Protein backbone atom coordinates (compact mmCIF):
# COMPACT_ATOMS: atom_id res chain seq x y z
CA UNK A 1 0.00 0.00 0.00
CA UNK A 2 1.71 3.20 -1.19
CA UNK A 3 1.48 6.51 0.62
CA UNK A 4 0.49 8.23 -2.61
CA UNK A 5 -2.46 5.90 -3.07
CA UNK A 6 -3.57 6.52 0.52
CA UNK A 7 -3.51 10.24 -0.25
CA UNK A 8 -5.58 9.60 -3.37
CA UNK A 9 -8.06 7.60 -1.31
CA UNK A 10 -8.48 10.45 1.19
CA UNK A 11 -9.13 12.95 -1.62
CA UNK A 12 -11.64 10.54 -3.18
CA UNK A 13 -13.35 10.07 0.20
CA UNK A 14 -13.80 13.83 0.45
CA UNK A 15 -14.82 14.43 -3.19
CA UNK A 16 -17.13 11.38 -3.37
CA UNK A 17 -16.72 11.37 -7.16
CA UNK A 18 -13.98 9.69 -9.19
CA UNK A 19 -13.93 12.28 -11.98
CA UNK A 20 -13.77 15.23 -9.56
CA UNK A 21 -11.10 13.56 -7.41
CA UNK A 22 -9.00 12.66 -10.46
CA UNK A 23 -9.15 16.26 -11.69
CA UNK A 24 -8.11 17.56 -8.27
CA UNK A 25 -5.21 15.11 -8.10
CA UNK A 26 -4.10 15.62 -11.70
CA UNK A 27 -4.34 11.93 -12.59
CA UNK A 28 -6.51 10.11 -15.08
CA UNK A 29 -9.82 8.63 -13.98
CA UNK A 30 -8.76 5.06 -14.93
CA UNK A 31 -5.55 5.44 -12.89
CA UNK A 32 -7.52 6.51 -9.83
CA UNK A 33 -10.08 3.75 -10.31
CA UNK A 34 -7.32 1.12 -10.53
CA UNK A 35 -5.69 2.48 -7.36
CA UNK A 36 -9.04 2.24 -5.54
CA UNK A 37 -9.52 -1.32 -6.82
CA UNK A 38 -6.07 -2.30 -5.48
CA UNK A 39 -6.85 -0.77 -2.10
CA UNK A 40 -10.21 -2.52 -1.87
CA UNK A 41 -8.60 -5.81 -2.94
CA UNK A 42 -6.00 -5.45 -0.18
CA UNK A 43 -8.70 -4.58 2.37
CA UNK A 44 -10.83 -7.50 1.20
CA UNK A 45 -14.01 -5.41 1.20
CA UNK A 46 -15.56 -2.54 -0.79
CA UNK A 47 -14.82 0.82 0.84
CA UNK A 48 -17.57 2.83 -0.85
CA UNK A 49 -21.25 2.42 -1.55
CA UNK A 50 -21.98 3.43 -5.14
CA UNK A 51 -25.05 5.67 -5.37
CA UNK A 52 -25.56 6.72 -8.97
CA UNK A 53 -22.32 8.37 -10.10
CA UNK A 54 -21.30 9.28 -6.57
CA UNK A 55 -19.41 7.33 -3.93
CA UNK A 56 -20.16 7.30 -0.21
CA UNK A 57 -17.81 5.84 2.39
CA UNK A 58 -19.30 2.75 3.98
CA UNK A 59 -18.48 1.35 7.42
CA UNK A 60 -15.23 -0.18 6.15
CA UNK A 61 -14.29 2.94 4.24
CA UNK A 62 -14.69 5.18 7.28
CA UNK A 63 -12.23 2.99 9.18
CA UNK A 64 -9.80 3.07 6.27
CA UNK A 65 -10.12 6.86 5.93
CA UNK A 66 -9.42 7.40 9.62
CA UNK A 67 -6.25 5.34 9.52
CA UNK A 68 -5.18 6.66 6.12
CA UNK A 69 -5.28 10.24 7.41
CA UNK A 70 -3.31 9.18 10.47
CA UNK A 71 -0.73 7.33 8.35
CA UNK A 72 -0.27 10.33 6.06
CA UNK A 73 0.19 12.61 9.06
CA UNK A 74 2.74 10.24 10.60
CA UNK A 75 4.74 10.01 7.38
CA UNK A 76 4.84 13.78 7.03
CA UNK A 77 5.95 14.01 10.65
CA UNK A 78 8.71 11.48 9.95
CA UNK A 79 9.94 13.50 6.98
CA UNK A 80 9.89 16.66 9.08
CA UNK A 81 11.91 14.96 11.82
CA UNK A 82 14.47 13.67 9.31
CA UNK A 83 14.81 17.15 7.82
CA UNK A 84 15.21 18.61 11.30
CA UNK A 85 17.95 16.14 12.19
CA UNK A 86 19.81 17.12 9.05
CA UNK A 87 19.54 20.81 9.97
CA UNK A 88 18.28 21.47 13.54
CA UNK A 89 18.22 25.24 12.97
CA UNK A 90 15.41 24.86 10.41
CA UNK A 91 12.26 22.80 10.28
CA UNK A 92 8.73 23.22 11.60
CA UNK A 93 7.00 23.05 14.96
CA UNK A 94 3.35 22.05 14.88
CA UNK A 95 1.98 23.84 17.94
CA UNK A 96 -1.52 23.50 19.41
CA UNK A 97 -2.76 25.89 22.09
CA UNK A 98 -5.88 26.97 23.97
CA UNK A 99 -8.20 29.69 22.71
CA UNK A 100 -7.73 31.60 25.95
CA UNK A 101 -3.95 31.83 25.46
CA UNK A 102 -4.21 33.23 21.95
CA UNK A 103 -4.32 36.93 22.81
CA UNK A 104 -1.27 37.23 25.03
CA UNK A 105 0.86 34.26 26.13
CA UNK A 106 1.33 32.31 22.89
CA UNK A 107 1.94 35.31 20.58
CA UNK A 108 4.47 36.79 23.01
CA UNK A 109 6.40 33.53 23.40
CA UNK A 110 6.40 32.96 19.64
CA UNK A 111 7.72 36.48 19.09
CA UNK A 112 10.54 35.96 21.60
CA UNK A 113 11.45 32.49 20.28
CA UNK A 114 11.46 33.54 16.64
CA UNK A 115 13.92 36.31 17.50
CA UNK A 116 16.44 33.58 18.45
CA UNK A 117 15.49 30.90 15.87
CA UNK A 118 14.80 32.61 12.55
CA UNK A 119 14.88 29.40 10.51
CA UNK A 120 12.18 27.53 12.45
CA UNK A 121 8.61 27.88 11.17
CA UNK A 122 5.33 27.11 12.95
CA UNK A 123 2.06 25.41 12.00
CA UNK A 124 -0.50 26.64 14.53
CA UNK A 125 -3.74 25.09 15.78
CA UNK A 126 -6.04 26.81 18.25
CA UNK A 127 -8.74 24.84 20.02
CA UNK A 128 -10.15 23.38 23.25
CA UNK A 129 -8.13 21.04 25.46
CA UNK A 130 -9.84 17.81 24.35
CA UNK A 131 -9.26 18.56 20.66
CA UNK A 132 -5.66 19.52 21.38
CA UNK A 133 -5.02 16.22 23.18
CA UNK A 134 -6.52 14.22 20.32
CA UNK A 135 -4.49 16.18 17.78
CA UNK A 136 -1.27 15.28 19.61
CA UNK A 137 -2.27 11.60 19.81
CA UNK A 138 -3.21 11.51 16.11
CA UNK A 139 0.14 13.03 15.12
CA UNK A 140 -1.37 16.29 13.89
CA UNK A 141 0.61 18.40 16.36
CA UNK A 142 4.02 17.99 18.00
CA UNK A 143 3.58 19.94 21.21
CA UNK A 144 0.76 21.75 23.00
CA UNK A 145 0.31 24.58 25.46
CA UNK A 146 -2.79 23.50 27.32
CA UNK A 147 -4.75 23.04 30.54
CA UNK A 148 -5.63 20.97 32.48
CA UNK A 149 -2.92 18.32 32.40
CA UNK A 150 -3.87 15.56 29.92
CA UNK A 151 -3.66 11.83 30.64
CA UNK A 152 -0.23 11.20 32.26
CA UNK A 153 -0.03 7.72 30.75
CA UNK A 154 -0.10 9.17 27.22
CA UNK A 155 1.51 12.60 27.61
CA UNK A 156 4.70 14.11 28.96
CA UNK A 157 3.88 17.29 30.87
CA UNK A 158 5.82 20.32 32.06
CA UNK A 159 4.03 23.00 34.07
CA UNK A 160 4.67 26.53 32.79
CA UNK A 161 2.64 28.68 35.17
CA UNK A 162 -0.51 28.80 37.28
CA UNK A 163 -3.24 31.40 37.05
CA UNK A 164 -5.90 32.28 39.60
CA UNK A 165 -9.54 31.85 38.64
CA UNK A 166 -12.04 34.60 39.26
CA UNK A 167 -15.77 35.17 39.38
CA UNK A 168 -16.74 37.43 36.48
CA UNK A 169 -19.68 39.65 37.37
CA UNK A 170 -21.26 42.66 35.66
CA UNK A 171 -20.43 46.18 36.81
CA UNK A 172 -22.78 47.13 39.67
CA UNK A 173 -23.25 43.51 40.79
CA UNK A 174 -23.53 42.94 44.55
CA UNK A 175 -20.12 41.18 44.56
CA UNK A 176 -18.32 43.60 42.25
CA UNK A 177 -16.72 45.56 45.09
CA UNK A 178 -15.21 42.55 46.88
CA UNK A 179 -11.45 41.94 46.78
CA UNK A 180 -11.89 38.14 46.97
CA UNK A 181 -14.87 35.82 47.25
CA UNK A 182 -15.57 32.17 47.90
CA UNK A 183 -17.51 30.57 45.08
CA UNK A 184 -20.18 29.48 47.55
CA UNK A 185 -21.46 33.07 47.86
CA UNK A 186 -22.60 32.82 44.23
CA UNK A 187 -24.63 29.65 44.82
CA UNK A 188 -27.92 31.35 43.94
CA UNK A 189 -26.57 33.15 40.85
CA UNK A 190 -27.25 31.98 37.28
CA UNK A 191 -24.02 30.89 35.58
CA UNK A 192 -22.64 31.21 32.09
CA UNK A 193 -20.19 28.34 31.47
CA UNK A 194 -18.13 26.72 28.75
CA UNK A 195 -19.45 23.63 27.03
CA UNK A 196 -18.32 20.17 28.10
CA UNK A 197 -15.63 18.82 27.78
CA UNK A 198 -13.64 22.10 27.68
CA UNK A 199 -10.80 22.12 30.22
CA UNK A 200 -12.05 25.19 32.08
CA UNK A 201 -15.51 23.62 32.32
CA UNK A 202 -13.98 20.54 33.96
CA UNK A 203 -12.26 22.76 36.52
CA UNK A 204 -15.48 24.72 37.10
CA UNK A 205 -17.48 21.52 37.60
CA UNK A 206 -15.00 20.45 40.29
CA UNK A 207 -15.27 23.84 42.00
CA UNK A 208 -19.07 23.67 42.01
CA UNK A 209 -18.95 20.24 43.63
CA UNK A 210 -16.41 21.44 46.19
CA UNK A 211 -18.58 24.47 47.02
CA UNK A 212 -21.78 22.40 47.20
CA UNK A 213 -23.36 24.29 44.31
CA UNK A 214 -25.97 22.83 41.95
CA UNK A 215 -25.69 25.61 39.38
CA UNK A 216 -28.36 27.08 37.18
CA UNK A 217 -26.54 27.22 33.83
CA UNK A 218 -28.24 29.71 31.53
CA UNK A 219 -25.87 29.29 28.59
CA UNK A 220 -22.95 27.08 27.54
CA UNK A 221 -20.44 28.90 25.34
CA UNK A 222 -17.51 27.75 23.24
CA UNK A 223 -15.19 30.70 24.07
CA UNK A 224 -14.40 32.81 27.12
CA UNK A 225 -15.08 36.16 25.34
CA UNK A 226 -18.65 34.96 24.68
CA UNK A 227 -19.04 34.11 28.36
CA UNK A 228 -17.82 37.53 29.42
CA UNK A 229 -20.05 39.26 26.88
CA UNK A 230 -23.08 37.53 28.36
CA UNK A 231 -21.92 38.38 31.88
CA UNK A 232 -21.68 42.04 30.83
CA UNK A 233 -25.21 41.79 29.44
CA UNK A 234 -26.49 40.57 32.82
CA UNK A 235 -27.24 36.96 31.90
CA UNK A 236 -25.28 35.57 34.84
CA UNK A 237 -21.83 35.19 36.40
CA UNK A 238 -18.94 33.01 35.22
CA UNK A 239 -15.74 31.37 36.42
CA UNK A 240 -12.84 32.56 34.24
CA UNK A 241 -9.10 33.15 34.64
CA UNK A 242 -8.06 36.51 36.05
CA UNK A 243 -7.29 38.47 32.86
CA UNK A 244 -3.71 39.41 32.04
CA UNK A 245 -4.51 42.22 29.63
CA UNK A 246 -7.25 44.66 28.78
CA UNK A 247 -10.75 43.32 29.24
CA UNK A 248 -14.36 44.38 28.87
CA UNK A 249 -14.87 47.37 31.17
CA UNK A 250 -18.41 46.18 31.79
CA UNK A 251 -17.11 43.08 33.60
CA UNK A 252 -15.46 42.91 37.03
CA UNK A 253 -13.18 39.95 37.85
CA UNK A 254 -13.22 39.08 41.53
CA UNK A 255 -10.49 36.53 42.47
CA UNK A 256 -11.81 33.33 44.03
CA UNK A 257 -10.46 32.39 47.46
CA UNK A 258 -11.10 28.65 47.02
CA UNK A 259 -7.82 26.74 47.32
CA UNK A 260 -8.36 24.86 44.04
CA UNK A 261 -9.49 27.93 42.09
CA UNK A 262 -6.51 27.95 39.78
CA UNK A 263 -5.59 26.71 36.35
CA UNK A 264 -2.22 25.17 35.61
CA UNK A 265 -0.99 25.81 32.09
CA UNK A 266 1.76 23.62 30.72
CA UNK A 267 3.48 21.94 27.81
CA UNK A 268 2.33 18.52 26.67
CA UNK A 269 3.58 16.12 24.03
CA UNK A 270 3.11 12.44 23.24
CA UNK A 271 5.01 10.33 25.73
CA UNK A 272 6.34 7.64 23.40
CA UNK A 273 7.28 9.98 20.55
CA UNK A 274 10.62 11.84 20.93
CA UNK A 275 10.42 15.49 19.97
CA UNK A 276 12.15 16.53 16.75
CA UNK A 277 15.00 19.04 17.29
CA UNK A 278 12.96 22.18 16.40
CA UNK A 279 10.18 21.17 18.80
CA UNK A 280 12.70 20.26 21.50
CA UNK A 281 14.37 23.61 21.04
CA UNK A 282 11.03 25.41 21.46
CA UNK A 283 10.15 23.34 24.54
CA UNK A 284 13.54 24.05 26.11
CA UNK A 285 13.08 27.75 25.38
CA UNK A 286 9.72 27.87 27.17
CA UNK A 287 11.00 25.85 30.12
CA UNK A 288 14.05 28.08 30.51
CA UNK A 289 11.98 31.25 30.41
- DSSP one-letter string for 62-117: HHHHHHHHHHHHHHHHHHHHHHHHH-TTSEEEEEEEEGGGTTTHHHHHHHHHHTT-
Query: Which of the listed CATH numbers 1.10.580.10, 3.40.190.10, 3.40.50.20, 3.40.50.300 matches domain 163-262?
Result: 3.40.190.10
Q: Do domains 88-160+265-288 and 163-262 have the same CATH topology?
A: yes
- Determine phi and psi for 188, rounding to 5 degrees: -95, 5
Global pTM reads 0.68
Domain boundary assignment for the chain: 3-71, 88-160+265-288, 163-262
pLDDT given at position 194: 95
Q: How many Å apart are CA 133 and CA 66, to the nearest integer? A: 17
Contact between 270 and 155 (Cβ < 8 Å):
yes
Q: How many Å apart are CA 171 and CA 250, to the nearest integer? A: 5
Q: In the CATH hierarchy, which top-level class contains the domain 3-71?
A: mainly alpha
**Which residues does the chain have with pLDDT short of 70?**
1, 84-89, 245-248
- Determine phi and psi for 65, rounding to 5 degrees: -65, -40
- Under CATH, which number does the domain 88-160+265-288 receive? 3.40.190.10
pLDDT given at position 124: 96
Q: How many Å apart are CA 238 and CA 189, to the nearest integer? A: 9
pLDDT given at position 150: 94
Chain CA centroid to CA 162, Å: 19
Q: How many Å apart are CA 201 and CA 57, to the nearest integer? A: 35
pLDDT given at position 286: 96
Amino acid sequence: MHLEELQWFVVLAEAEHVTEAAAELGVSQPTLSRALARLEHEAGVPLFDRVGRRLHLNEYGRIMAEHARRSITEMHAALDRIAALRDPDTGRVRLAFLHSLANWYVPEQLRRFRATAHGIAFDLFQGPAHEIAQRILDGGADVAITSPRPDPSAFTWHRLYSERLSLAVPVGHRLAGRSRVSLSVAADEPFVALEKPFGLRMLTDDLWVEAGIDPEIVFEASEIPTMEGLVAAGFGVAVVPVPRDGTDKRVVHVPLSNSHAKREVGLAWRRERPLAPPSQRFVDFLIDT
